[in-house]
């Protein structure tokens, strides 16, 4: 089974900061990597699919990148509504999926 290692598990930042969250796959998954945002008490929301394609309606301050088995989610100029938990997910194994452990982004 593919393992997804996400880091850091938590992150403190201020409005206006730039933050990067990382996700590593245990084997090659091409670009089958997706990112989700989850606010407290809400369902996950798709942000990025195919490692770097922004879902419709997602602000352009969000971006994704891939290098081999290493993937990153970058948020430029953090806004108040961005403080949430972020998950990576591999869809290479679809219909099986594996999520990363999550990164909780908190206000400093």
Can you give the binding site for another protein, defined by CB under 8 A? 31-32, 34, 36, 38, 42-46, 49-50, 53, 55, 87, 89, 91, 94-102
User: Residue 17 or 24: which CB sits closer to another protein?
Assistant: 24
User: Residue 79 or 101: which CB sits closer to another protein?
Assistant: 101
Minimum distance, C-beta of residue 36 to another protein, in the bound complex (Å)? 8
User: Residue 34 or 75: which CB sits closer to another protein?
Assistant: 34
Minimum distance, C-beta of residue 53 to another protein, in the bound complex (Å)? 8
Q: How far apart are CA 71 and CA 69, in angstroms?
A: 7
Q: How many residues does the chain have?
A: 108
User: Which distant-in-sequence residues (6+ apart) come within 8 Å of 5 by Cβ?
Assistant: 23, 24, 26, 100, 101
Which residue has 């990164």 as its token pair? 103
Work out the burial of residue 25: count CB atoms within 10 Å of its CB; fewer than 13 is exposed, 13-18 middle, 19 or more buried: buried
Minimum distance, C-beta of residue 71 to another protein, in the bound complex (Å)? 13
Minimum distance, C-beta of residue 8 to another protein, in the bound complex (Å)? 14
User: Residue 17 or 102: which CB sits closer to another protein?
Assistant: 102
Tokens of 12: 């403190």
Closest of 54, 46, 49, 51 to residue 24, by C-alpha: 51
């Amino acid at each position: 089974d593919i393992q997804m290692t996400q880091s850091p598990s938590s992150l403190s930042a201020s409005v206006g900061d730039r933050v990067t969250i990382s996700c590593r796959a245990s084997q090659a998954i091409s670009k089958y990597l997706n990112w989700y945002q989850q606010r407290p008490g809400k369902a996950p929301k798709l942000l990025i699919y195919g490692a770097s394609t922004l879902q419709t309606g997602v602000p352009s301050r969000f971006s994704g990148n891939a290098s081999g088995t290493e993937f990153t989610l970058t948020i430029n100029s953090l806004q108040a509504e961005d403080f949430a938990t972020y998950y990576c997910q591999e869809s290479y194994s679809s219909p099986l999926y594996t999520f990363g452990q999550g990164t909780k982004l908190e206000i400093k």
